[in-house]
Structure formats: C-alpha cells, structure tokens
Amino acid sequence: MKTVLLLRHAKAERGLEYPDDVDRPLAGRGKRDATQVGEWMAAQGLVPNLVISSPAKRARQTARRCADAARYVGEMRLEDALYLSGENAYLELLRGLDDRVGSVLLVGHNPDIAVLVERLSGQAVRVPTAALARIDLPIEHWSELAEGQGKLAWVHIPGLM
C-alpha cells in the first residue's frame, strides 16, 4: 500500500508588494497553521518518506514548517510541475516515484489539490489553505496509480480537528 498526503499551502500574504504570485510569502496565520499541521502529523505518526513542494515561496515555506514540526529529516524536493500545471502534473509525478517511497507529502495549490483528491478517491472535498488530505492507495508500485482507486481517509483542517 502507498499513501499520498496532499497539503494545500497555508495562508499567504497578498498585496502590491508581491507583483509576482510565485513570490508571495506566508502570512502570520499561515506560519502558525503550517507548523500546527506538522505537529499534528507527528502526533499521528504520519511522517512521510518524501516531501515534494511547489517552488512558490508560500508552498516552500509551508512544506519546510510542516516538515520541521513533523520531525521529517529527509530530502525536500522542489518540483516546477506542482506550480499551476494542473492535477495531471501531480499524477505524473506520483507515477514516477521510486517504489521504495511508501508515503509522500505533496505541497501545492488549489484547484489542483482538491481536484486531485477527487480524481484519486472519487470524493469531492473542501480543501482550504493548510488542509491536509490523506489518500491510501492499494498498490505496490507507483506506476500502477489509477484514478478512483484510492480511499480518502480524512481531511485535516487546522483549528477544526
């Protein structure tokens, strides 16, 4: 079995001082939420084997804060395909993972995260900022990944659980 953890980046700053979307940093609430999600993951025993993030500043910061709080010590990869490339890019990335990876945390953006949850599990869910979804896949090899075969275990939203 493989596990996919999908994390939408936490709340980001907005304003004219950030003319390029990719450069928007986390807001104060986003920093707190990203850390809380990581602490919650650690408490649940959900430290992934690999963390992959969009290169957008808010996603990188979310991934780093979450990983640090979860006590993740592995590699954190940045993948351009997770920034505004659509959910198919996420699927392609997952199918190409090394089979030694049993669980992966992908940190990215909506609508891609919400659409990916639905495509993998068949369930449409609300995915606000800093929401973490867990999908369990009954596969041995990432290359076997197909739509609708996953089971949505839960969606954790900071402050609600």
How do residues 35-74 score in pLDDT, each as one tens digit? 999 999 999 999 999 999 999 999 999 999 999 999 999 9
Ordered structural domains, the chain, with CATH: 2-156 (3.40.50.1240)
Q: Summarize the confidence of residues 98-117 as an average pLDDT.
A: 98
Exposure on the CB side of residue 122, measured as CA atoms within 13 A: 8
- Please, is 4 exposed, middle or buried when counting C-beta atoms within 10 Å of its C-beta (0-12, 13-18, 19+)? buried
Distance from the first to the final alpha carbon of the chain: 26
Q: Which residues contact 17 (CB under 8 A, 6 or more apart)?
A: none
pTM of the model: 0.96
pLDDT for 19 = 85
pLDDT for 160 = 64
Residue 106: pLDDT band with limits 50, 70, 90: very high
Q: Are residues 70 and 107 in contact, defined by beta-carbon separation less than 8 angstroms?
A: no
Q: Summarize the confidence of residues 104-112 as an average pLDDT.
A: 97
